[in-house]
Structure 1
Amino acid sequence: MTSSNGPSAAARVRSGSAGPPAEPLVGDRNELPDRIWTVPNALSVLRLLGVPLFLWLLLGPQADGWAVVVLMVAGLSDWADGKLARVLGQSSRLGALLDPAADRLYIVATLIAFVLRDVVPFWVVAVLVGRELVLGAMLLVLARYGYPPLQVHYLGKAATFNLLYAFPLLLLADGEGPVVAVVQPVAYAFTIWGGSLYVLAGVLYVVQVLGLVRAERAGVPAAGAAP
């Protein structure tokens, strides 16, 4: 839907002139080259392929040590693909989509495994997975009005960072031995910080989507920058 008073809100989002104030952007996805065969994209695909392996290790043989190794390798590749994209000049739209998708899949997969193994309470998983369902609905709303997915901001990245540190620590805290007493409070701290930031980032995303939709319906430019 477009406005007769000027470019559509979707177009203003693409140019970076619409939307409510938000956290700083991690690049502008719509200005990136449309590449597929790049080294960073290959790393992102490998990270995605590690999700079912990670889930099987947690639920099948319950090989927590190997599951932590897979998670650590995934975290390292997450850092490496962004670094290589900048160093090699191989940033791409596909890479900008694969990166957060892999992060979310690891988070959701871990939460499912944790609730099945009673590592964390069900309500924690319900809140975090519910956040993903709400954001999925927001993507449908954006598509309805012709918007691209909103950009990843630093609050969401910080939340993911905390959660990916919390998960292996929670596995260690679920075991036995003297190390549990030391690891447990650290694991809970990362879980609380990461979970709170994760939900807050989701709330901000919803606020931004609703602001853009209101601007589109009103047919007037919205102040601020894209999220």
Structure 2
Amino acid sequence: MTDRAGPATPDAGGRRTGVDRIWTIPNALSVLRLLGVPLFLWLLLGPKADGWALVVLIVSAITDWADGKLARLLGQYSKLGELLDPAADRLYIFATLIAFVIRGIIPWWAAAILIARDLLLGLCIPLLRRHGYPPLTVHYLGKAATFCLLYAFPLLLLAQGDLWIQQVAKPFGYAFTVWGMGLYLWAGALYLSQVWWVLRHTPVLPPERRPTRIAGG
């Protein structure tokens, strides 16, 4: 997951620039990643073409790295990019969890824990807005957790078989899964503690003073 936030660049002609831009190369790469989610699910659950599904995951990882790199090199930061990049990460994680549970690659309770954690944090967003806060910035532990999970999934997919390389990939895949789940829950606990502090120490604002746009990654 990459950081695509950046400063706005005013335009004398009044056109959308800086963080208001939509048609940028990084955003196009993020949209490409999003379009790969249903293809990835179909490959896993339809023909069970694990090799091609692995290719889709690898392409997704490359574009995830490239969109953040290009946003910095070209100065093409945008509000839309701030939303698309983490949304693509979450969708790939959810899609992979669902497919892996159906295929029996991971136990259902592991997927339930990760999905419940994100749903719980999502319920905090309206509470934060009542106190004048946008969604809190993603903690570095959350980014590390996402990194681990996005490495675990290709390794677990590669491990489905009896070849030597598949047997080597299996312990690494499970290790990244355990590390990712641990960090994911730890980051969630930190996020909840921050939300609890906001709720206890800041007043509820009237509706007209509450933030209306989603911020953060």
What is residue 33 of structure 1 aligned with on the other side?
Answer: 19
Distance in 2, Cα, partners of 1:78 & 1:184: 24
3-state DSSP class of the match of 1:125? helix
Distance in 1, Cα, partners of 2:24 & 2:166: 42
1:174 aligns with 2:174: no
Q: Residues 29 and 96 of structure 1 are in contact (CA less than 8 Å); yes or no, is this contact kept in structure 2?
A: no
> Does the C-alpha gap of structure 1 residues 69 and 28 become closer, same or farther in structure 2, counting only changes over 3 Å?
closer
What is residue 209 of structure 2 aligned with on the other side?
Answer: none
Deviations 1:110-143 (A, max 9, x none): 0000000100011111111111111111123223
Distance in 1, Cα, partners of 2:123 & 2:171: 35
What is residue 131 of structure 2 aligned with on the other side?
Answer: 145
1:62 aligns with 2:48: yes
What is residue 131 of structure 1 aligned with on the other side?
Answer: 117
> Does the C-alpha gap of structure 1 residues 132 and 105 become closer, same or farther in structure 2, counting only changes over 3 Å?
same
What is residue 213 of structure 2 aligned with on the other side?
Answer: none
Q: Could you tell me which amino acid in structure 1 is paired with residue 37 of structure 2?
A: V
3-state DSSP class of the match of 2:19? coil
Stretches of structure 1 lacking an aligned partner (at least 5 in a row):
1-25, 220-225
1:92 aligns with 2:85: no
Q: CA deviation at 1:218?
A: 8.6
Taking every aligned residue pair, what percent have the same amino acid on both sides? 63
Q: Could you tell me which amino acid in structure 1 is paired with residue 114 of structure 2?
A: L
> Does the C-alpha gap of structure 1 residues 140 and 218 become closer, same or farther in structure 2, counting only changes over 3 Å?
closer
Number of aligned residues = 196
TM-score by length of 2: 0.83
Q: CA deviation at 1:47?
A: 0.8
Q: Could you tell me which amino acid in structure 1 is paired with residue 188 of structure 2?
A: G
TM-score by length of 1: 0.79
Stretches of structure 2 lacking an aligned partner (at least 5 in a row):
9-17, 206-215
Q: 4+ residue stretches of structure 1 with deviation over 6 A?
A: 29-32
Q: Residues 37 and 95 of structure 2 are in contact (CA less than 8 Å); yes or no, is this contact kept in structure 1?
A: yes
3-state DSSP class of the match of 2:138? coil
CA RMSD of aligned residues (A): 2.2
Distance in 2, Cα, partners of 1:60 & 1:141: 40
Q: Residues 174 and 180 of structure 1 are in contact (CA less than 8 Å); yes or no, is this contact kept in structure 2?
A: yes
1:110 aligns with 2:110: no
1:76 aligns with 2:62: yes
> Does the C-alpha gap of structure 1 residues 76 and 195 become closer, same or farther in structure 2, counting only changes over 3 Å?
same
